[in-house]
Structure 1
Amino acid sequence: MSQKDYLSQYGYFAVISMHKYNIPASIIIAQGMLESAYGNSPFSRVSNNHFGIKCGEQWNGNSITHHDDSPEECFRSYASVHASFDDHGKFLKSKVWYNSLFRLDRTDYKSWAHGLQQAGYATDPMYAEKLIDIIERYNLSQLDEMILI
């Protein structure tokens, strides 16, 4: 799947999630693109997990094991990609270490990207820069201005 295919297939999910959870759609779609290799990673294809969200102690849903930072880590598995997008919003809203992000302007994708990295969303030290690069390369910030009708 190309970035254009990914955006046309899942961009609306990001906009819906933005309005439901107050997370920039540009950040949501860029994370999905990065974490799932534009929906092409074997892991995301099997689990529908486009955000690399691990199970955690409170997770009661389906799961899959996958090698990430450690072998055989537990990751959430979803019935659909849409469910993955929705759970991403719930996940960020439910963790206290992401609370400061929700005080940021919804159109400030750069601060959101750096805030996600500082809060430990990913272990990659270049995570924020990668998200910003994807957003700017594909002009994804335009999604942050979209309204639902």
Structure 2
Amino acid sequence: MIQVIKRKLPALLFSLFLSAAVQAQKVVKKFIKKYEHIAVENMQKHNIPASIILGVSIVESAAGESAIAKALRNFFGVKGKNSSSMEKLGYKSAYREFESAEASFEHFCQMLKRKKFYVKLKASPDYKQWLKSMNAASYAEAKEKWVADITRAIDKYELYKYDQPMQASF
């Protein structure tokens, strides 16, 4: 009996891992479908690649599954105050609450527009240069890992395809 378990355990573990990976991909794809229009609208309005907007939101909010994204509609890990209604419910956080997903996406773009690198990169579809500049400006504490995670998300889910309207304007 133990021999049978030893032989089948690796296959079972691999199957469980594969199932979890497939489920995670479904969550990310659902998130992209839900928010792609907001990212593209913000790209057109603010000249920031939709791939950056979607990639950062996927990583920072665990594709909308993090507690901060669910409770505070904060998809970018933006720090700040919560509303008093959240505090009354006993929810205290160092992260800012937004009234909607749209408001969270808009705030992220406004934040980037205030950075020194924005003027140089404005309307550039080069997401790698955007990430490099955001990293240099200390957008995230995780630095290189953060850049690698977002680059991986952009490449894996082909988020750069959403930047094509921006590329056509060059």
TM-score relative to the length of structure 2: 0.72
Does 1:138 find its partner at 2:157? yes
Where is the helix percentage greater, Structure 1 or Structure 2?
A: 2
AA partner of residue 98 (structure 2): Y
Matches within 5 A, 1:11-50: 11-50=36-75
2:33 corresponds to 1:8: yes
Aligned Cα RMSD in Å? Answer: 2.1
After superposition, give the CA deviation of every residue in 1:14-64 in whole Å (9 maximum; x if it has no partner).
Answer: 111111111111000000000000000111100000001112xxx7x8487
Give the fraction of aligned pairs with identical amino acids, expressed as a percent.
Answer: 31
SS in 1 for 2:95: strand
CA change 1:102–1:131 in 2 (3 A) is farther
Q: Contact between 1:117 and 1:128, CA under 8 Å: does it hold in 2?
A: yes
Query: Mind listing any 5+ residue stretches in structure 1 that lack a counterpart?
Result: 66-71
Whose Rg is larger? 2
Supply the AA of the counterpart residue of 2:53: I
* Count of residue pairs the alignment pairs up: 134
Would you tell me which structure has more strand in proportion to its own residues?
1
CA deviation map 1:49-86 (0-9, x unaligned): 0001112xxx7x84878xxxxxx763210111111011
Match of 1:68?
A: none
- Measure the CA separation in 2 of the matches of 1:101 and 1:108: 12
- In structure 2, list runs of 5 or more residues that go unmatched: 1-25
Moved over 3 A (4+): 61-65
